[in-house]
């Protein structure tokens, strides 16, 4: 009888320890947008300074939306239209903006680390001060965009002064310039 009580206590402690460990590992990765902020954005087309982290905003049409200082970290904005919208100082780290229509939008000083702009339309967008070098701009249309890519590292194959042999996949330099379309 005494032996089974000890086993039960150990089992309870083991389950508790596993739950704590899993919560510690996976807890910080889970992001949840404030549902009231998501509703506000959809209703009034503005949510300045809101927490929209991890929100699924895919496919929305938001023209002249005000998302200044908003937290959109990890948000899904795939196929979203943010025409002429204000995302100044917004946090878009790890956000998905694949095939988003962002014509004329303001991304000044936005955080774009690991933001996916694959096939996005950023025509006439303002990107001054935004960390575009750490975003994925593969196939993005930056025609007439106000963006400075001169400070972005280039591929060693394109650099005549590089000591690294071409084709070395171990470097971590951005290949941003190689992924952009030629603009007139």
pLDDT of residue 28: 39
pTM, entire model: 0.69
- pLDDT at residue 153, rounded to an integer: 80
Mean pLDDT by 10 residues, the chain (184 residues): 56 45 40 88 96 97 97 98 98 98 98 97 97 95 93 57 42 44 54
Distant-in-sequence, close-in-space partners of 38: CB < 8 Å, separation ≥ 6: 52, 55, 57
pLDDT, tens only, 77-115: 999 999 999 999 999 999 999 999 999 999 999 999 999
Per-residue model confidence (pLDDT) at position 94: 98
CA distances 118 to 12, 59, 71, 74, 136, Å, are: 48, 15, 20, 15, 6
CA distance 67 to 44: 11
Q: Would you call 29 exposed, middle or buried from its count of C-beta atoms within 10 A (0-12, 13-18, 19+)? A: exposed
Q: Is 97 within 8 Å of 74 (Cβ atoms)? A: no
Domains of the chain: 56-153+170-184 (2.160.20.80)
Strand partners for 126 = 106, 146
């Amino acid at each position: 009888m005494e032996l089974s009580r000890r086993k039960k206590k150990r089992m309870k402690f083991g389950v508790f320890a596993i739950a704590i460990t899993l919560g510690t590992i996976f807890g910080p990765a889970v992001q949840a947008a404030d549902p009231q902020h998501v509703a506000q954005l959809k209703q009034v087309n503005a949510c300045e300074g809101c927490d929209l982290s991890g929100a699924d905003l895919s496919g929305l049409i938001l023209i002249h939306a005000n998302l200044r200082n908003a937290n959109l970290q990890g948000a899904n904005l795939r196929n979203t239209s943010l025409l002429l919208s204000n995302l100044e100082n917004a946090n878009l780290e790890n956000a998905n903006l694949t095939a988003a229509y962002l014509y004329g939008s303001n991304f000044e000083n936005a955080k774009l680390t690991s933001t996916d702009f694959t096939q996005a339309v950023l025509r006439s967008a303002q990107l001054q001060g935004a960390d575009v070098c750490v975003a994925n701009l593969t196939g993005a249309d930056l025609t007439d965009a106000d963006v400075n890519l001169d400070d972005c590292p280039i591929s060693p194959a394109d650099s005549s002064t590089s000591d690294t042999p071409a084709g070395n996949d171990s470097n971590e330099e951005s290949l941003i310039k190689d992924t952009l379309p030629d603009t007139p």
